[in-house]
């Protein structure tokens, strides 16, 4: 998974809201947090494929966080998109979108699903889980990526006269087998070490929190928006 701020200068702490994305190259999928003004232009400037976008997550309905939403949705419509799009936001965004479509006389060629944010698990896909936690009038998010199995050494398995089949999958998971002659086939010796998952904390308004330094020590990455 690739983490990237959509606005290159967004990492500077300032009052302006920022957008960042999670890119999953293995499945050609992108998740966007916040949709600030000019988001579609930032996609093009960073050579990102806008049609790979499948989810938009918005922590609150402040105008800075949704000012680029209608432009982004319209751009997707102009590209001839047919794949559905999911938006996760607090209650009220659906009315904003309905009014926007009414007064601009716009309809989208793709299915648009709006999910109301609540505390708890909101996304569980591609070995990634996103949890939402309400903090006053905002939502903050925890992203947890599952542990990945190591690379299976195919050449080493063939050198041990192992025939390709379901056994390969079990060995890759670290299983061991006791053969009839007493030989122990250890899966851990045929794979590289597992890659640990990581925890990402997406935090809003880090200022004026006494426990903020202690909070960020618990996570591999901390993103601000």
How distant, in Å, are the alpha carbons of 3, 84, 187, 188 from that of 177?
Answer: 39, 45, 8, 11
Question: Domains (ranges, CATH) in the chain?
Answer: 2-148+196-224 (3.60.15.10), 154-190 (no CATH)
Contacts of 158 (CB under 8 A, 6+ apart): none
Strand partners, 224: 203
**Strand segments (E) across 47-127:** 53-57, 85-89, 112-116, 120-125
Q: What tokens were used for 209?
A: 């929190």
- Could you identify the residue written with the tokens 């998952």? 197
Considering only CA atoms, which of 35, 41, 29 is closest in space to residue 59?
Answer: 35
Task: Per-residue pLDDT tens, the chain, 225 aa: give them.
Answer: 566 666 655 444 444 567 777 777 677 888 888 888 877 777 777 777 888 888 999 988 888 888 888 888 888 888 888 889 999 999 888 888 888 888 888 888 889 999 999 999 988 888 888 888 887 778 888 888 777 767 777 777 777 777 777 777 777 777 777 777 777 777 777 777 766 667 676 666 555 455 555 555 554 455 555
Task: Quote the pTM value.
Answer: 0.72
Dump the DSSP string for 169-221.
HHHHTT-EEE-TTS-EEEGGGGBPPPBP--EEEEES--TT-TTHHHHHTTSSE
Q: What tokens were used for 97?
A: 């979108």
């Amino acid at each position: 998974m690739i983490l990237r701020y959509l606005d290159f200068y967004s990492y500077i702490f300032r009052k302006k809201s920022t957008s960042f994305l999670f890119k999953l190259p293995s499945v050609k999928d992108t998740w966007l947090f916040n949709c600030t003004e000019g988001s579609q232009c930032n996609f093009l400037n960073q050579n990102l494929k806008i049609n790979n976008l499948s989810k938009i997550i918005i922590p609150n309905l402040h105008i800075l966080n949704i000012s680029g939403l209608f432009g982004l949705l319209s751009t997707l419509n102009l590209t001839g998109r047919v794949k559905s799009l999911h938006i996760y936001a607090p209650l009220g965004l659906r009315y904003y979108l309905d009014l926007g479509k009414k007064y601009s006389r716009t309809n989208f060629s793709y299915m648009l699903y709006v999910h109301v944010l609540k505390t708890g698990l909101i996304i569980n896909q591609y070995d990634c889980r996103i949890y939402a936690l309400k903090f006053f009038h905002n939502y903050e998010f925890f992203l947890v990526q599952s542990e990945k199995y190591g690379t299976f050494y195919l050449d080493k398995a063939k050198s041990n006269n192992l025939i390709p089949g379901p056994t390969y999958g079990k060995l890759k998971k670290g299983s061991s087998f006791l053969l009839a002659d007493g030989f122990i086939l250890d899966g851990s010796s045929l794979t590289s070490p597992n890659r640990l998952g990581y925890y990402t904390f997406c935090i809003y308004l880090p200022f004026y929190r006494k426990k903020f330094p202690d909070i960020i020590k618990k996570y591999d990455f901390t993103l601000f928006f």
